[in-house]
């Protein structure tokens, strides 16, 4: 072995022995550490609201020219109400599904005008002036239209008193039609289902 190689080997052995002595004798090694603080934050949950306005009424497509209590419906008439609803709330990704619930008690039961109107009447949901869904009263709960707080939404109910040229039904004359409440719901939907 050359002299240089012997010196290198001796130096390596001496360095290893020094490390062993320091470790055994409680010597220290250098260890670095750093830290940083991430600022705390406050996050507030948003909200979802739904407000219904008073409905406007039309008869056969024209504005009602009299008080609704004074109006008399006849076979062939379609009386419609349009109720604007406002989807409100806070949240960047807030979206809601608008639904309508019409119970059978919305119109009188039993034979006569209540049954006729129940089977021939429809409800629609408009979004930004365009019809997005329509269903018979009995199937109103099947309607679902997605909307955001920026959308203009309205519920339209069309009560049709059918005219049948060959059927005389005097039992419906003078019948009082009480229209019960129509429930409009807004249920949040996931606006970003892929996240």
Q: Does the pLDDT at position 70 exceed 70?
A: yes
Whether 16 is covered by a domain: the verdict is no
Q: Left (φ > 0), alpha (ψ -120 to 50) or beta: where does 117 sit?
A: alpha
Domain total in the chain: 1
pLDDT at 170: 77
Q: Is residue 5 part of a domain?
A: no
Q: Which domain holds residue 146?
A: 47-165+172-189
Q: Is residue 39 part of a domain?
A: no
* Interval 1-23: pLDDT, tens: 666 666 666 556 656 655 665 56
Would 112 be classed as within a structural domain? yes
pTM reported for the whole predicted model: 0.73
CB 117 within 8 A of CB 161: yes
Q: Is residue 61 part of a domain?
A: yes
CATH of the domain at 114: 2.60.40
Q: What is the pLDDT of residue 78?
A: 94
Here the tokens at position 172 are 């419906």
Is residue 52 assigned to a domain? Answer: yes
49, pLDDT greater than 70? yes
State the Cα–Cα distance between residues 193 and 195, nearest whole angstrom: 6
Examine the pLDDT at 85 and tell me if it is beyond 80: yes
Quick one: average pLDDT of 87-94? 91
Mean pLDDT, rounded, of the chain: 83
Note whether residue 34 is domain-resident.
no
Handedness of CA 64, 69, 75, 79 (dihedral sign): positive
pLDDT for residue 25 is more than 80: no
Q: b/e string for 20-56 if b means 16 or more Cβ within 10 A? A: eeeeeeeeeeeeeeeeeeeeeeeeeeeebebebeebe
**Residue range 148-177, pLDDT digits in tens:** 998 999 999 999 988 887 777 777 788 777
pLDDT above 60 for 72:
yes
Q: Is residue 25 part of a domain?
A: no
Query: Residue 38: which pLDDT band, with cuts at 50, 70 and 90?
Result: very high
Give the model's confidence band at 104: pLDDT under 50 very low, under 70 low, under 90 confident, else very high. Answer: confident
């Amino acid at each position: 072995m050359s002299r240089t190689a012997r010196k290198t080997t001796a130096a390596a052995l001496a360095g290893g022995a020094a490390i062993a002595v320091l470790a055994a004798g409680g010597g220290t090694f250098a260890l670095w550490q750093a830290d940083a603080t991430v600022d705390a934050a406050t996050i507030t949950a948003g909200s979802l609201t739904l407000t219904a306005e008073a409905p406007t009424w039309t008869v056969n497509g024209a504005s009602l020219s009299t008080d609704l209590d004074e109006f008399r419906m006849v076979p062939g008439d379609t009386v419609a109400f349009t109720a604007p609803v406002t989807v409100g709330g806070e949240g960047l990704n807030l979206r809601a599904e608008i639904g309508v619930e019409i119970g059978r008690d919305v119109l009188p039961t039993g034979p006569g005008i209540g049954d006729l109107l129940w089977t021939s009447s429809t409800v629609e949901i408009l979004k930004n002036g365009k019809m997005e869904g329509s269903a018979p009263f009995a199937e109103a709960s099947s309607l679902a239209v997605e909307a955001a707080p920026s959308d203009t939404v309205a519920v339209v109910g069309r009560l049709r008193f059918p005219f049948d040229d060959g059927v005389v039904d005097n039992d419906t004359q003078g019948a009082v039609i009480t229209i019960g409440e129509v429930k409009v719901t807004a249920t949040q939907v996931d606006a970003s289902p892929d996240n």
